[in-house]
Structure 1
Amino acid sequence: MTDFELYFGLGREHIMDVTAYDHILFVIALCTIYQLSEWKKVLILVTAFTIGHSLTLALVILDWISVDSSLVEFLIPVTILVTALGNMIKRNKDFRNTSSRTNYFFALFFGLIHGLGFSNYLKALLGRDTDIIGQLFAFNVGLEVGQILIVLVFLGIAWLLTMILNVTRKDWILAISSAVAGIAITLMIETKFW
């Protein structure tokens, strides 16, 4: 197995790990207001998240920044909650006019926070005598592929429920966003940050 394959697998597994479901929740929250036909917007959105994630991973691994892990553990569910609440506010608007640039900015910014969550573990894996840039690249490509798989499954389920079972888009957004917000609040309460 090459280094690329190893770190690609780590990135994909990191985003798809159901025991560390905070990233899955965030990706779901990001995609809730979109439909399958808007896949290009969603692809840009998750790529913005990956760019933010990648930037802070690199900054921590290169020892350019350091952030208290308990603060990060608290901020990650905060980003999920803010995204879910934003969806609930937007649910009554015409989604064709939803500001994509604002969504992309928040995905990028919140990606910065999520990148801090895995950085210490990845830093310990990489060590100092290795091709850090190549390994970071492979990890982030794996992360992006994992996110795209999550998005495809989620948008497929959304399409089935809204198109075939006639669940309204507003009801879908409210139900998913409320559930995600509830889980995010629970995660915030469980952190040691308090």
Structure 2
Amino acid sequence: MLSVFSTYLKLGFHHIFNLGAYDHMLFLLALSAIYTLGDWRKVIALVTSFTIGHSITLALSTFNIIRFDTALIEFLIPVTILFTCITNFFKLKSAAAKQPTILSLHNLMALFFGLIHGMGFSNYLRSLLGRGADTWLQLLAFNVGIELGQMLIVLLLLILGFLTMNLFKAKKRDWIMVISSAAAGIALILMMETNIF
């Protein structure tokens, strides 16, 4: 049982922490852009909200409780990135002046968008899952692995932001603007590349 958990934990970690998951990485980048290294508790709460969301739909789709159009999900994932970037633009002044609270609309947004991203993970996981009593354990381990990978990605982004703002004296407002603009541009390209239209 421990070896099954370890195997699926590693699969979850490597699924999110690799360049093939760049769309999910991009969402994490947009989601954490308004935070600094000193906000690590708030970022943990934010990433965990996202994990809870994608864990729900990942479980529901894995057990065939919900079905969805894959092309639609591939379109909606960059939509979540773009929408997050747009909300960052509206928060430029307040994010630069004060720190966002731990429980906020940002967390609810992360939870909701996690539901969409969970459907994006599901096809990959279904191809890996064994059949039998271990399915719940495999699902749990995979989600824990994704959570750990997400935490590492966000930590690296926060460190990069810290270095940029402290070593290169960039303003927080400029950091948010550049990161969110870049993520929004890539999201628009991803949206246009989908087969939804």
Which residue is 1:138 aligned to?
141
Residues 33, 95 of structure 1: 8 Å contact kept = no
Q: Distance in 2 between matches of 1:52 and 1:36?
A: 24
| Distance change (3 Å), C-alpha of 1:175 and 1:100 | farther
**Distance (whole Å) between structure 2 residues aligned to residue 126 and residue 13 of structure 1:** 16
Alpha-carbon distance between aligned partners in 1 of 2:88 and 2:120, rounded to the nearest angstrom? 24
- 8 Å contact kept, 1:45–1:107: yes
Q: Which residue number corresponds to residue 96 of structure 1?
A: 99
User: What's the Cα RMSD here?
Assistant: 1.4
Partner of 1:173: 176
Q: 2:161 aligns with which of 158, 163, 175?
A: 158
Greater Cα offset, 63-72 or 5-14: 5-14
Name 2:57's counterpart in structure 1: 56
Shift of 1:141: 0.7
Q: How far has the Cα of 1:118 moved from its partner?
A: 1.6
Contact map agreement 2:62 2:122 (CA 8 A) in 1:
yes
Q: Secondary structure at the match of 2:185?
A: helix
Contact 2:62 2:126 in 1 (8 A): yes
Distance, in Å, in 1 between the alignment partners of 2:71 and 2:180 is: 25
Return the TM-score normalized by structure 1: 0.96
Structure 2 letter corresponding to 1:12: F
Partner of 1:82: 83
**CA deviation after TM superposition for structure 1 residue 100, in Å:** 4.0
Give deviations 1:58-108, integer Å, cap 9, x for gaps.
000111100100000000000000001111111122333568420110000
1:113 paired to 2:116:
yes
Aligned pairs (5 A) from 1:18-57: 18-57=19-58
What 5-or-longer segments of structure 2 have no aligned partner? none
SS of 1:105's equivalent in the other structure is helix
- Output the CA distance in 2 between the equivalents of 1:109 and 1:49: 8
Report the Cα distance in structure 1 between the residues aligned to 2:166 and 2:10, rounded to whole angstroms.
34
Structure 2 partner of 1:9: 10
Structure 1 runs not aligned, ≥5 long: none
Output the CA distance in 1 between the equivalents of 2:124 and 2:194.
18
C-alpha distance in 2 between matches for 1:95 and 1:59: 38
CA contact (8 A) 2:42 2:102 kept: no
Judged with a 3 Å threshold, the aligned counterparts in structure 2 of structure 1 residues 97 and 35 are, in CA distance, closer, same or farther, namely: closer
Please identify, of 122-131 and 105-114, the stretch whose mean Cα deviation from structure 2 is larger: 122-131
Q: Tell me: CA distance 1:87–1:116, structure 2 relative to 1, closer, same or farther (3 Å).
A: same
Query: What residue number does 1:66 align with?
Result: 67
Amino acid at match of 1:42: V
- Contact 1:8/1:138 (CA < 8 Å) preserved in 2? yes
